[in-house]
Structure 1
Amino acid sequence: MDATERVSPAGSVPAAAGPAGSVPAAAGPAGAGRRGGWILGLALACHPGPALAVTALACALALGSGLGGSRSALITAAVLTGQLSVGWSNDAYDARRDARAARRGKPAADGTVGAGAVWAAAAVALTVCVPLSLACGVLAGTVHLAAVAAAWLYNLRLKATALSWLPYVAGFGALPAAVALSLPGGPAPRWWTVAAGALLGFAAHLADTLPDIAEDRAAGIRGLPHRLGGRGTRLLLPLPLLGATAVLSFGPPGPVDAGGAAALVLAGAAALAGPALGRRWRKAALAGAVAVAAVDLALLLVRGVTAG
Structure 2
Amino acid sequence: MPEPRVLLDGLVLGESPRWHDDRLWFCDWGAHELITVDATGTRETAGRVDAFPFCIDPLPDGRLLVLAGSDRRLLRREADGTLVPYADLRPLCDRPWNEVAADGRGNAYANCIGFDLMSGEPPAPGLVALVTPDGTARTVAGDLGFPNGMAVTPDGTTLLVAESYASRITAFDVAPDGSLTGRRTWAEIEGSAPDGISLDAEGALWYADVPNRRCVRVREGGDVLQTVETDRGCFSCALGTPGGTPTLYITAAEWTGTAGATAARTGLLLTAPAPAPPAPRP
Taking structure 1 as the reference length, the TM-score comes to 0.27
Which has the larger share of helix? 1
Which has the larger share of strand? 2
* Higher Rg: 1
Taking structure 2 as the reference length, the TM-score comes to 0.28
